[in-house]
Structure 1
């Protein structure tokens, strides 16, 4: 009798050991993924809904078994919303840990300095991992920068971050402005900065260009900035041809050849550096500038000096076969 009882006890222990091994292997052994797999946890997802989705896409074999093991052997932390990369041959335990404590995959969209709003709209609408439609944002409302986003995030949410970033940048820079700035309001600063942004692609010139235009505004001289002619025609897209005389003479709220002072609003989205340049313009007497052939400009404070610089520029263009 004793021998029989001992045999039964041994069999029972063996069965328990086998079941325990099976139970643990189902948690710490490899799951069903043979290669790295992206997995999205929707906002508001629970552990149960996440387990069901993992089973539906074939990452795990059984949602109920995963849930039981997770509750007995896993962390009690909630799963995070977002997109995660699940490693090939990872265990269910590792998968749960990734969804609870891993890094959400971040993706990026870049708005270069001087990109007009119509093109910001284009790049956001062209991003296939974003959702929903947006209108063209107000010109000058977006701060050029690189922004991260999650797969499935709304375009409106990403655009809102871009606009909040501009609001914060202006709110930070405006109180520290120099008394030499001609901008009377933050909006005027962004408007003038948008012209500076379009007039030079050379970082070291920004404050000089800002100083030149500041001088013109103080002296009541028209800005005569070519980009302000183009903006009402294309809304910031490239013109693709030379400016016509009729366009130079056109009267509208932007053309600074036919009006004094600033246009009614920005002509692009200026970067932080251009806003800073307008708020801290160079101390200069220059009121003229012309391209110098190197990508920058030659600045002058007299018409005679400017005319000579223009002749040098034209001669260089003729030499290059551009005229």
Structure 2
């Protein structure tokens, strides 16, 4: 099964069932408060639940409102100091927080450049493939579900670690990329920048059927169709997500040319959406290559790059890395973490401007 969206099997807060035992469990679950559902599920079926935040990550509990029933994992470099940046990194389907820290290079750069890491973790009780539910209306709107849970985590770590609230960033792969778009749209005032890897435009879908039918998402390995909205229509979906009137976050958008799980056309629609939100046109103002991969820049009238895209030649579905010890190298090959000859985390930190200790 592909790691990304598995939306046909996604049932937020779905409970186990089947036969008399299933009915008994269902009755018992319905008698519990919502916050106890996952604990009950995992106590009966621990082999189906994500592992705890393993070292070097630390689990934080009691971080505030958690209607999405997510876990909070963090990494704080020993020499972090005050007023440092924060990067929120969202894993893809079938992954969990410990699969998306060192493998992607984020631990390396957090330690080197002294910024904090927050890695929210999905739970099996919420989604059978541990996908963030970017496609569910109860999770992809402001102050609801998983979006609010992640918002609560950000508030907790910003306060506890004395983070600079003007330098908070979010990135994610696949379903995590879809949830990155959700966070950027629903809480734009929180973020200075974002990076979407093999992700989906905000509000492309509000349920699993829509996600599979119109968002370029495939469970079969065959490219699925992606709806084609105008930039203004895509932009309106973001503008309607909050009452924000200020500057929206800068966006880096990554996609593999050989991805058969998320249609590469999604990158074009993401460009349409976020250039429109940021008030710039859809024609690139500069183009070059990074390690042989196409790199486009979209600028405002003052020459500031507000959107960039990287099209990773020959890569399938995953986060691109380049293992090695050089400053611009990172990562370890793992499930949906691919050696593509380019370390996305390094270039994203440069785009955000947090590549300095």
Normalised to the residue count of structure 2, the TM-score between the two structures is 0.24
**Structure with more of its chain in helix, by fraction:** 1
Greater radius of gyration (CA): 1
Normalised to the residue count of structure 1, the TM-score between the two structures is 0.26
**Structure with more of its chain in strand, by fraction:** 2
